[in-house]
Chains A and B, each alone.
Chain A
Amino acid sequence: MKDMNMESRVLIQSNKIEARKVQVYYGTNHAIKDVDVDILDKTVTAFIGPSGCGKSTFLRCLNRMNDTIPSCRVEGLITIEGEDINDPRVDPVQLRAKVGMVFQKPNPFPKSIYDNVAYGPKIHGLTRNKAELDDVVESCLRKAALWNEVKDRLQAPGTGLSGGQQQRLCIARAIATSPEVLLMDEPCSALDPIATAQVEELIDDLRSQFSVVIVTHSMQQAARVSQRTAFFHLGNVVEYGETTQIFTNPKDPRTESYITGRIG
């Protein structure tokens, strides 16, 4: 749990992302129903809920990754800093550079570890020379708690790492683009407790610059890292509010039974 002055800081923060009446359909399957969620700036927001309730689907709406699924249709209004992201004038490529994403399944590119991390900075021209790029790669790998394990084999293929290492590589790759919002879909599901703690520390650091949205199946993790929590159930957001309030004093009986382990 976070202490009181952190709570007060949350209160003065502005909305980074606003979602209103969002509906998502996969063909005829209505996967997200009437979701209203505000993501605050410089805050960690946790999405919790049983498997298949639409957490990943909603997360993918926030950077328009659902565009890549032909059967998927998104309705409703989602704005980032007041700008409608589904407006035809918005370039999804720029949006995704601003709203980075770590996927549920690790998906390193079939390239070297170095090139995986350098990918974003290269395509966006974030660095001016090789030395700067080296620095970015190193600092991102350090932040993702992977540097010590790979510093001697940066040219080895990223696909040759273990599952947990691959996931941290994907985290490093995502933060190397310096996004304003970072969407993390179960980033710790394949990690041991030590790496998990390091990633949680990273998330807490990132909060000073970015807003972070994290999907997690671990109640403890949601309680540890997030300031706000949204509970998803069967495509609806049942309850959304301060993490402390959700975990200590849930208003909806479904939330209560989920966090105490009775549904899910």
Chain B
Amino acid sequence: MKSAFSFPFAALTLFAGAAFSQDQAVAEATSSSVLYRLIFALGIVVFLIAAFTVGRNRAKTMRSKVSEMHSLPSFHGAVTLQYAALGIVLAIVLHLILGRPLGLGGAVAASLVLGGAGALFGLSTIKADFRARTFTERTIMVALILCSLVAVLTTVGIVASLVVETGHFFELYPASEFFFSTVWNPRFGGGSSLGILPLVWGTLYVSAIALVVAVPIGLMSAIYLAEYASKSVRAWVKPAIEILAGIPTIVYGLFALITVGPLLRDYFAQPLGFGDSSSSVMTAGLVMGIMVIPFVSSLSDDIINAVPQSLRDGSLGLGATPSETVRSVVIPAALPGIVGAILLAASRAIGETMIVVMGAGAAAKLSLNPFEAMTTVTVKIVSQLTGDTEFASPETLVAFALGLTLFTITLGLNVVALVIVRKYREQYE
């Protein structure tokens, strides 16, 4: 129970901190005023601990007199604490709503009055038949719900702001131009063409190459690790592959820029007559593919391992070879998870920026040639927002439309994956 109680403390401290950090904009942020606020936050914590202790002791005394109490004393203490905390939250909210009329002193006074009232009310609830345990359980549940709401509401908020800003963009720039024009040529003086097609094309092209690299390599190494490798080999190889996921993308970008790009240009593009650009879709795709290998292999490996041994035994017992067993029994049984792993890798590839800038360049182009420089949606979002950050012109607002499009693409990908997985589940479970 202790940890469950410490949660409201922490939340409250944070809350108090947030409330008063806004104050700082008004009052001058001297180091002493920061100190006062910290002391106030600490005071709240001490006050709540005191409320808990008083409530618990009171319930203990009552328990020694009354023969039967519904809840243990610590639950009554917790209820006292909850009411006290409620009082303090109310005080701080009031303080903020009223526009901080009396400064820090006012906040302290309000907290003392309302918190004290809450604590007194909490103490008055202590009776033999009061269900303090049930009450506390409910508060914990509410706290948990609030936390999950934070995640959901953040998502909703982000999407909503994307949609609204995209709306503004389309007021300034025709949607049909944006979606169907094949030219991306922003000019900050006005008269830009902002067609998304070359960017989407670049994104899909680079991601496709990345997946063509990562899926077979990742899946095969997962199969090797899960089905063939001995324990000691696995203990070394698995972490070694996972290190790939820990390398910062900028390092991959360097690798693309300095090694892979020139290599591809000198040994493939030039001799084969594909041009002589060292930044190319192929460079970025290959390097990105290496980067996402661990997403495919590590997850697939876990999923393949989770396929019950009895299925393998059944297949081997019928005289199937290990590879037949993997192909016809293990992989189909693990498929929903593998699809999930691949999609995770795909969304990672679609959202990647750094490797593209350094490997494929920043030129928006619609071309089939894999050795040509191209660019992606994410890169253009960055370049539209560096420098000029006044969100009034179509040239900057387009970033939101690009972001929303990207979001829609990844969302669509996830939906497709869900549908595939569900269809498969229905068939096999």
Contact = CB atoms under 8 A, between A and B. Distances in A.
Interface stretch (B135-143, B309-317, B403-411): B309-317
A141 B98 CA distance: 80
The SS class assigned to the B binding surface is helix
Contacts of A124: 319
A111 B332 contact: yes
A14 B370 CA distance: 70
B312 A68 contact: yes
B390 interface: no
Interface string B389-429: 00000000000000000000000000000000000000111
B310 A105 contact: yes
A103 B314 contact: yes
The SS class assigned to the A binding surface is helix
Given A109-B311, A110-B428, A111-B428, A93 B317 contact: no
Contacts of B319: 93-98, 100, 120, 123-124, 177
A260 to B, nearest CB: 34
B321 interface: yes
Contacts of A63: 317
B318 A96 contact: yes
Residue among A105, A110, A159 with the most chain B CB within 10 A?
A110
A85 interface: no
Given A157-B427, A159-B428, A96 B316 contact: yes
Given A93-B320, A123-B318, A110 B332 contact: yes
A103 B317 CA distance: 9
Contacts of B231: 70
Residue among A68, A109, A111 with the most chain B CB within 10 A?
A109
A245 interface: no
A105 B309 CA distance: 12
Contact of A109 (B314, B316, B427): B314
A109 B310 contact: no
A166 to B, nearest CB: 11
Contacts of B259: none
Interface in B70-95: none
Contacts of A105: 310
B318 A100 contact: yes
Contacts of A97: 318-319
Interface residues of A, number: 30
A210 to B, nearest CB: 15
A96 B319 CA distance: 5
A209 interface: no
A170 interface: yes
A51 to B, nearest CB: 19
B328 interface: yes
B317 A65 contact: yes
Nearest to A101: B317
B299 interface: no
A93 B310 CA distance: 17
A107 B314 contact: yes
B310 A65 contact: no
A173 interface: yes
Contacts of A119: 315, 318, 320, 328
B321 A107 contact: no
A153 B185 CA distance: 60
B179 to A, nearest CB: 42
B62 interface: no
B320 A107 contact: no
A100 B311 CA distance: 15
Contacts of A68: 309, 312-313, 316
22 contacts: A63-B317, A65-B317, A68-B312, A68-B313, A93-B320, A94-B319, A95-B319, A96-B316, A97-B318, A98-B319, A100-B319, A103-B314, A107-B308, A107-B310, A109-B311, A109-B314, A109-B332, A109-B333, A110-B329, A123-B320, A173-B318, A174-B318
Interface of B: 231, 308-321, 324, 328-329, 332-333, 427-429
Given A96-B316, A110-B329, A119-B320, 5 more contacts: A100-B317, A107-B310, A107-B313, A109-B315, A159-B428
